[in-house]
Chains A and B, each alone.
Chain A
Amino acid sequence: MKKLKVFILIIVFLFLFIFINELFAQKYVTNFPEGSMIDDYYEDPENHEVIILGDCEVYANFTPMVMYKNEGITAYVRGNSHQLIWQSYGLLKETLKYEIPKVVVLNVASLKVSEPEKEPYNRLLLDKMKWSKEKIEIIKSSMTEDESFISYIFPIIRYHSRYNELTLDDLKYMFNHKVVTYNGYLINKEIKGVSTLPTKKRLGSYTFKDNVIDYLDKIRELCQENNIKLVLIKAPSLYPYWYTEYDNQVKDYANKYNLDYYNFLDNIEEIGIDYSHDTYDGGLHLNLYGATKLSTYFGRILKDKYDLTDYRLDNEISDIYNQKLYEYNNAIKE
Chain B
Amino acid sequence: MKKIGIVLLIVVCFLTMGCGKEVKENDNKESNPDAYTFSYNGLDYVLGSEFTTSKYGKEDSYSEAASCAFDGADKTFTYEHFEVATYPDGDIDRIASIYFLDHEIKTPEGISLGDSINDMNNAYGSDYQQSENLYTYTLGRTHLNFIVENDTITSIEYYYDAEN
- A254-303 CB contacts (< 8 Å) to partner B: 281-282, 284
In the assembled complex, A167 has its CB within 8 A of some CB on chain B: no
- B9-47 CB contacts (< 8 Å) to partner A: 12, 15-17, 19-22
In the assembled complex, A203 has its CB within 8 A of some CB on chain B: yes
B131 partner residues in chain A, CB cutoff 8 A: 204-205
A198 touches B65 (CB 8 A): yes
In the assembled complex, A132 has its CB within 8 A of some CB on chain B: no
Q: Which of chain B's residues has its CB closest to A55's CB?
A: B68
Tell me the complex Cα distance, A145–B164, Å: 9
**B1, B5, B69, B133: residue with the most chain A Cβ atoms closer than 10 Å:** B69
Tell me the complex Cα distance, A324–B145, Å: 50
A118 partner residues in chain B, CB cutoff 8 A: 163
A199 touches B101 (CB 8 A): yes
- Interface residue range, chain A: 35 or more
B1 partner residues in chain A, CB cutoff 8 A: 2, 5-6, 9
In the assembled complex, A305 has its CB within 8 A of some CB on chain B: no
Tell me the complex Cα distance, A284–B8, Å: 49
**A124, A160, A198, A203: residue with the most chain B Cβ atoms closer than 10 Å:** A198
B147 touches A202 (CB 8 A): yes
A124 partner residues in chain B, CB cutoff 8 A: 69
- Binary interface profile of A, 72-95, with partner B (CB < 8 Å = 1, else 0)? 000000000110000000000000
Decide yes or no: A239 and B65 within 8 Å by CB, A151-B20, A157-B15, A204-B131 being known contacts. yes
In the assembled complex, A108 has its CB within 8 A of some CB on chain B: no
Indicate which residue in B20, B62, B134, B135 contacts A161 across the interface (CB closer than 8 Å): B20
A196 touches B63 (CB 8 A): yes
Indicate which residue in A10, A34, A157 contacts B69 across the interface (CB closer than 8 Å): A34
A204 touches B145 (CB 8 A): yes
In the assembled complex, A312 has its CB within 8 A of some CB on chain B: no
B63 touches A119 (CB 8 A): no
State the Cβ distance, B76 to closest chain A Cβ, in Å.
4
Decide yes or no: A9 and B83 within 8 Å by CB, A147-B21, A160-B20, A199-B101 being known contacts. no
- Binary interface profile of B, 92-111, with partner A (CB < 8 Å = 1, else 0)? 00000001010000000000
In the assembled complex, A100 has its CB within 8 A of some CB on chain B: no
Tell me the complex Cα distance, A199–B19, Å: 39
B21 touches A119 (CB 8 A): yes
Indicate which residue in B61, B65, B68, B157 contacts A121 across the interface (CB closer than 8 Å): B68
Tell me the complex Cα distance, A204–B148, Å: 8
Q: Which of chain B's residues has its CB closest to A239's CB?
A: B65
- Binary interface profile of B, 126-164, with partner A (CB < 8 Å = 1, else 0)? 000001111100000000010100000011010000011
Tell me the complex Cα distance, A18–B19, Å: 18
14 contacts between A and B (CB under 8 A): A6-B1, A17-B12, A34-B69, A117-B163, A119-B21, A151-B20, A156-B16, A198-B65, A199-B101, A204-B131, A204-B133, A204-B147, A240-B65, A284-B66
Residues of A within 8 A of B (CB): 2, 5-6, 9-10, 13, 17, 32, 34-35, 55-56, 81-82, 117-121, 124, 144-148, 150-151, 154, 156-161, 195-199, 201-205, 207, 239-240, 281-282, 284
Residues of B within 8 A of A (CB): 1, 4-5, 8, 12, 15-17, 19-22, 61-66, 68-70, 76, 78, 83, 85, 99, 101, 131-135, 145, 147, 154-155, 157, 163-164
List of 6 A-B pairs having minimum Cβ-Cβ separation, nearest first? A204-B134, A81-B68, A56-B68, A205-B132, A34-B69, A202-B155
Known contacts A147-B21, A150-B19; 17 additional CB pairs below 8 A are A56-B68, A56-B69, A120-B69, A146-B21, A150-B15, A151-B19, A151-B20, A156-B16, A158-B19, A160-B17, A197-B63, A199-B76, A199-B78, A201-B157, A204-B145, A204-B147, A282-B64
